[in-house]
A and B are shown apart, each in its own frame.
Chain A
Amino acid sequence: DTEVTQTPKHLVMGMTNKKSLKCEQHMGHRAMYWYKQKAKKPPELMFVYSYEKLSINESVPSRFSPECPNSSLLNLHLHALQPEDSALYLCASSQDRSSYNEQFFGPGTRLTVL
């Protein structure tokens, strides 16, 4: 199994809602990532988990809350989002955090905040 899966594919939420994005990989990778991608822009790193511990938080607002319940799963909890948070949210994984490891990306969740 060489894929990263993400659910849901699309999500529409109001500014007062609480929702979660899910990501799963079964490649035995020990590093997992959340990226945010706006239209016609490159992905921007949000969080990195290494061996299930948060190792990088790129100064992301607290309305985004990541969670890594185990080595295969990564969640992103959303609360009180703003319309400008509408974007494609990509999950990725790699063997570990070493620089030479390629990252494998999921198909993303297209989030719309009304």
Chain B
Amino acid sequence: AQKVTQAQTEISVVEKEDVTLDCVYETRDTTYYLFWYKQPPSGELVFLIRRNSFDEQNEISGRYSWNFQKSTSSFNFTITASQVVDSAVYFCALSEATNSKLTFGKGITLSVRP
């Protein structure tokens, strides 16, 4: 069965600090997909990134970067020079090729203080 663990529940940082959100997953499939979503207080989940199991290249998008390591079953998300607008709940999620259902982690509440 697939599982996503986000061990951190709440993180508080001061603006301009770097912050890393951890995600560890479990799956028996060799083909799977990992996602990160952001949920600001308004409620809408915003898609940030998808990574497939065959692509271990790290990705950078502006202040956001993702580190995918199959050896440790981790897909961590780093925000560089955090801003108040980054305050939100961040969910890591997994879907398997044999099961299109999206499994979410419990989410990490990030608070960025001015």
Interface positions of A (Cβ within 8 A of B): 40-43, 45, 56, 88, 90, 92, 97-100, 102-108, 110
Contacts and interface: CB of A to CB of B under 8 A. Distances in A.
B104 interface: yes
A89 to B, nearest CB: 10
B32 A105 contact: no
Interface of B: 31-33, 35, 37, 42-47, 50, 52, 91, 95-102, 104-107, 109
A100 B33 contact: yes
Contacts of A42: 91, 104-107
B91 A103 contact: no
Nearest to B52: A100
A45 B37 CA distance: 15
Contact of A41 (B43, B46, B52, B106): B106
A43 B45 contact: yes
Contacts of B37: 105
A105 B45 contact: yes
A99 B32 contact: yes
B20 to A, nearest CB: 20
Given A99-B31, A104-B47, 20 more contacts: A40-B107, A40-B109, A41-B106, A41-B107, A42-B91, A42-B107, A43-B45, A43-B91, A45-B101, A98-B100, A99-B96, A99-B97, A99-B98, A99-B99, A100-B52, A100-B97, A102-B47, A103-B47, A105-B37, A105-B46
